[in-house]
Amino acid sequence: MIGLGRRLAASIALLATIAPLARAQNVVLQIKPKVGDTLRLRIEQEMEISAVGKVGDADTTMTMRSSLLMLSRSIVVEADNDGTTVRSITDSVAVDMGALDPRVAGFSDQARRSLQGKEVRVRFSREGSGTVVEADPDIPRDLQSVFSQLPATFPRHQVAVGSTWKQRIPIPDAAPGQVAGTLEAVFRLDSLTRRGKLAHISMRGTLTRDSTSSPIRGGARMTMTGTVTGYMVLDRGRGWVTDASTEMSMRSHIAQPPGSGLQPVKMHMRLVQRQRTMDKR
């Protein structure tokens, strides 16, 4: 009985020593899929925009809702020490602008045809940023961003569970070379599964755009503030984000060009996006 007690005490002491080491395990978080892999993606997006302005002397509110569902394949064609190049092929797209106006329905169909069956090549850095390097000429520039979802989210250094890191991410505008706003984000490695295969990461941040930014269409000026929250699951074995969700809430104020006679417009936008990598077939 005494010997059993000593062995039990020794086991408890060993576990007490190992547990902090397991929690302090340092890992590298990076995008690094293998050449030849085919990653099947399901991307869902829901957006609601409410605009408040004056029509005559009356305040008027307009609300628009839209949704997008896209199924695509990303085939890894090249890899080196700095990053990975993938071919992204859109298999199917469903766009719903949530309106009965035939002109809006026509735009939905146009957006669907602009994406479905088209192909782009995207270069991903190890830290997660995506850049379109080649695209089908039929895809409008503002829709090409659908294929490069990931900003530079991962740090270059190793991290342990509980570690946080900050990223300052410029949000591109539809116009080439212009920035629509800036996301100041804090990421946290929340947990690792057994042997560190899956890394669960959360994110929160603020989105801003001030009146000194480039004018939007027609010369109007827009200021914007917002919040962003989300999470992602990095499969370190596959070197890819297999599950991610982001929710964005933004409020903006649009000042019309001087001399236009138009009243300012206040807007609120809520955007929810979910991306999931389906099992290989």
Q: Residue 271: inside a domain, yes or no?
A: yes
Instruction: Tell me whether residue 75 is in a domain.
Output: yes
Q: Is residue 2 domain-resident?
A: no
- 162 in any annotated domain: yes
> Which of 211-220, 229-238, 256-265 is the least confident region?
211-220
Mean pLDDT, rounded, for 122-142:
81
Number of domains in the chain: 1
159: CATH: 2.30.230
Per-residue confidence band for 135, with pLDDT thresholds at 50, 70 and 90: confident
**CB of 254 within 8 A of CB of 272?**
no
- Decide if 204 is inside a domain: yes
pTM for the whole structure: 0.78
Name the one residue in this structure whose structure tokens are 């740090």: 155
Model pLDDT, residue 177: 46
Q: What is the pLDDT of residues 202-231, one digit of tens each?
A: 999 998 887 666 666 667 777 889 999 999
Residue-level pLDDT at 55: 65
Euclidean distance between CA atoms 137 and 127, whole angstroms: 28
In a domain, 69, yes or no: yes
User: How far is residue 256's CA from residue 269's CA, in Å, rounded to a whole number?
Assistant: 19
Name the residue range of residue 254's domain. 29-276
pLDDT digits (tens, 9 = 90+) for 87-112: 988 888 888 876 655 555 556 677 67
| Domain assignment present for 10 | no
**Where does the pLDDT of residue 63 fall: very low under 50, low under 70, confident under 90, or very high at 90 and above?**
confident
Structure token pair of residue 226: 């917002």
Residue 22 has pLDDT above 50, yes or no: no
Report the amino acid identity of residue 236.
R
Q: Is residue 58 part of a domain?
A: yes
DSSP 9-43: HHHHHHHHHHHHHHHT--B-----PPTT-EEEEEE
Band (pLDDT 50/70/90 cuts) for residue 281 is: very low
